[in-house]
Amino acid sequence: MALQLSSACYCIGRSGHRRASVAKTTAALNEAQEEKIKLGGSDLKVTRLGIGARTWGDTSFWNHLEWDDRKMKAAKAAFDTSVDSGITFFDTAEIYGSQLSFGTINSETVLGRFIKERKEKDPQVEVAIATKFSALPWRLGRQSVVSALKDSLYRLGLPSVELYHLHWPGIWGNEGYIDGLGDAVEQGLVKAVGVSNYSERRLRDAYERLKKRGIPLATNQVNYSLIYRLPEENGVKATCHELGVTLIAYSPIAQGALTGKYSPENPPTGSRGRIYTPEYLTKLQYLLNRISEIGQKYGKTNTQVVLNWLIAQDNVVPIPGARNAEQAREFAGALGWRLDGEEVEELRSLASCIKPVIGLPVERL
């Protein structure tokens, strides 16, 4: 009888633990869903952290000339886990995975498939999609922007998207591109528009041109992280604040360098290894150690701390790329809490002692 009672108590204890765990998870999801930000002067609200879908369309699905869908399944798990965790803002582009980038499946096509499958299971689910126009030299005039957006919508399987960016400034024809953004809004193809990799001067020009039509410039998407703070130095971040334009930060964990997974003894390979050398990683260790200490205070990982460093600046939305469910789940842990002002400034001060990595040349056009 004593054994039966003990077993019963154990079962009740485990059941109570499961209920508490479910309640805690539900509360976390609700908190993430409620933590949204209004993009610039538009009426569009998105989660304070988005997911970059660039790697969801590329050549990596080919393995020794045979189709390998393991990475496709991992990407699908990343999408579903993000939505389950309350992250419903996804960023893609027409060029991601396209033939122009030597890809085999366009990221928009893959993302559109994921959305369709999810809605079949949960018709009430709502996601916000951002995609981008490629300012290629042979694309001229405002109509090229509208036509490209319609092609993107076809691949996504959607009648409209929430946000449409100019991916980078063109060599010429930028005024026409901005006019095309305005046309897309007026035609109901997109709710809000933005730019990407725009300098302070180009940002102001785009803002003023759209303003004449009563259309707000919602966002500027740029490379921004704790160890790449060019937007703070070249006036872009300050101008975003002045004009009420939201800054969307791509590469927010610096290609993994800020996560702590690399070290002088274990540097990255390939192109990343040429940037994050053992010498550079040695100089980075003190900052990484401090990030880890702060993370222990909040019960968070390095990744979650550096993402929260961006979120804590109020007008910044980081969009890390998630390859699998584990990464998406970790990214979600950057929501629902906040570094204090002293910690934000301390990390910025420590990072300022480290030579910044090289960014994209288009930022200086």
In the chain, the N- to C-terminal Cα span, in Å, equals: 80
What is d(CA 140, CA 131) in angstroms, rounded to the nearest whole number? 19
Annotated catalytic residue, options 10, 96, 228, 298: 96
Task: Report which of 34, 46, 75, 72 is spatially closest to residue 321, judged by C-alpha positions.
Answer: 75
Size of the chain in residues: 365
What is d(CA 186, CA 215) in angstroms, rounded to the nearest whole number? 9
What is d(CA 284, CA 302) in angstroms, rounded to the nearest whole number? 13
Which tokens belong to 148?
A: 């490209």
**Is 262 tagged catalytic?**
no
Q: Please, what sign has the CA dihedral across residues 42, 44, 48, 53?
A: negative
Do 268 and 278 contact (CB within 8 A), yes or no?
Answer: no
Report H helices in the chain.
2-34, 70-84, 107-121, 142-156, 174-186, 200-211, 230-233, 236-243, 270-275, 278-298, 302-311, 325-332, 341-351
**Which residues are tagged catalytic?**
96
